Amino acid sequence: MKYIDEFRDQQQAQAIANIIALEAKSDRHYRLMEFCGGHTHAIYRYGVQDLMPDNVEFVHGPGCPVCVLPVGRIDEAMQLAQEQGVILCTYGDMMRVPAGNRRSLMQAKADGADIRMVYSTQDALKIARDNPNQQIVFFAIGFETTTPPTGVAIKQARAEGLTNFSVFCNHVLTPAALGAILNAEPPVDIDALLGPSHVSTIIGSHPYEKFAQQYGKPIVIAGFEPLDVMQSVLMAIRLLNKDRSVVENEYSRAVTRDGNIKAQALVKEVFEIRENFEWRGLGLISNSALKIRPDFAEFDAEKRFTVSAQPVVDIKACECPAILRGQKKPLDCKLFGTVCTPENPMGSCMVSSEGACAAYWRYGRLRVVA
């Protein structure tokens, strides 16, 4: 497949692996945090770890929008779904995540709630057009990558005069999460970061520059194909060896320093900064999420309906929060593979397609029993 196979080429991989082995200094350990769950899954799905020398270690980051959403917000979505006449539209990833009492949207659907899995915001709009007597709520989640399509849908709904469409907005901001990781107490033990690339197609690479400088950690914007990850590892090692704490862009085929100006303007038009938002694992972070501007209030599900779920405490032994902070790994969790499996998840990291536990379970478990 053109533009895919090139980035999964075994010979190239081996060539980069050889250079990494040569340049990684044998007297030091390299702890690299891959920010995104997409990276974690690429590493395990393609076996990238097998091509790394022993002193290069991947630390998994919080970049999984499903995982960082606190249980309370999913409970609120479930409340919305149970309102009379409401159809809740959600991306597939959310369906199996355990919320309060470990119930998932999938189970709420089996109990009779009208919950539809959609592939894009356009599908949700179509459902709104086709069901004028019902209220369609789109469960919007995701980092900056998925925010513009939500903004487009809201503007389109206004232009079409759709009065039965609203958005339950849970869009979050990557730089805020990065700041929280770098500020964490006790500090997260990492040397460099492989930064988000799809997010950066929207916001550009420049928002990370201040973090690299302030915290003395090189950041390499890394694509999601396995060769991208390997090339980014090499770039990070070179920066560390030269003691250079700067942002470099491996994913230059899609990311520029300034990002997508048009998308940024659209986001600014429809959304504004939310003062506080709770992140699973990272806690309450100020200015870390978006809400819908008052000008578009009629499309804000939080204004149209009453949502007030009780804060929910995570299951005590579930290590998702520490895993999301990069302080623990899935195998450090006592529940992993014993009581917590994809069929019976205790935490979102086990069911999200970008969750670290899911990556270990699906692709990496062979290392557990070996």
Partner 1 sequence: MKLNIKTGKVDMSHGSGGRASAKLISDLFMKHLNNEFLAKGNDSACFDVAGKRMVMSTDAHVISPLFFPGGDIGSLAVHGTVNDVAMSGARPLYLSASFILEEGFPLSDLERIVISMSNAAKAAGVSVICGDTKVVEKGKGDGVFISTTGVGVLPEGIDISGDLARPGDAILISGSIGDHGIAILSKRENLEFETTIESDSAALNDLVTEMIKAVPSIHCLRDPTRGGLATTLNEIALQSAVGMQLNEAAIPVKPQVAAACELLGLDPLYIANEGKLVAICATENADRLLAAMREHPLARDAAIIGQVVKDEHHLVQMQTRFGGQRMVDWLAGEQLPRIC
Site for partner 1, rule CB under 8 A: 1, 4, 8, 10, 13-14, 17, 38, 44-51, 65-66, 91-93, 95-96, 106-107, 109-111, 117-119, 123, 126, 141-143, 145-146, 198, 226, 339, 341-344, 351, 353-354, 361-366, 369
Return the number of the residue (9 or 23) whose C-beta is nearest partner 1.
9
Kindly state the smallest distance separating residue 86's Cβ from partner 1, in Å: 18
Dihedral (C-alpha) 135, 136, 137, 141: value to the nearest 10 degrees? 180
- The secondary structure of 77-133 as a DSSP string is HHHHHHSTTEEEEEEGGGTT---GGG--HHHHHHTT--EEEESSHHHHHHHHHH-TT
Place of tokens 């998925």: 146
Kindly state the smallest distance separating residue 364's Cβ from partner 1, in Å: 7
3-class DSSP assignment, residue 240? helix
Return the number of the residue (299 or 363) whose C-beta is nearest partner 1.
363
Kindly state the smallest distance separating residue 230's Cβ from partner 1, in Å: 9
Return the number of the residue (147 or 245) whose C-beta is nearest partner 1.
147
The answer to whether the CB of 75 falls within 8 A of the CB of 100 is yes
What's the rounded Cα separation, in Å, for the pair 268 and 37? 26
- CA distances (Å), origin 105, targets 75, 90, 101, 142: 9, 9, 12, 17
Return the number of the residue (244 or 334) whose C-beta is nearest partner 1.
334
Q: Which of 236, 239, 311, 303 is nearest to 75 (CA)?
A: 311
Return the number of the residue (13 or 239) whose C-beta is nearest partner 1.
13
Kindly state the smallest distance separating residue 148's Cβ from partner 1, in Å: 11
What's the rounded Cα separation, in Å, for the pair 298 and 164? 10
Return the number of the residue (125 or 212) whose C-beta is nearest partner 1.
125
Return the number of the residue (212 or 333) whose C-beta is nearest partner 1.
333
In sequence order, what are the residues at sequence separation of 6 or more whose Cβ sits closer than 8 angstroms to the Cβ of residue 46?
A: 8, 226
Dihedral (C-alpha) 273, 277, 282, 287: value to the nearest 10 degrees? 20
Kindly state the smallest distance separating residue 291's Cβ from partner 1, in Å: 19
Q: Which of 238, 253, 246, 240 is nearest to 201 (CA)?
A: 253
Kindly state the smallest distance separating residue 142's Cβ from partner 1, in Å: 6
Kindly state the smallest distance separating residue 149's Cβ from partner 1, in Å: 10
Burial of 8 (0-12, 13-18, 19+ CB in 10 A): middle
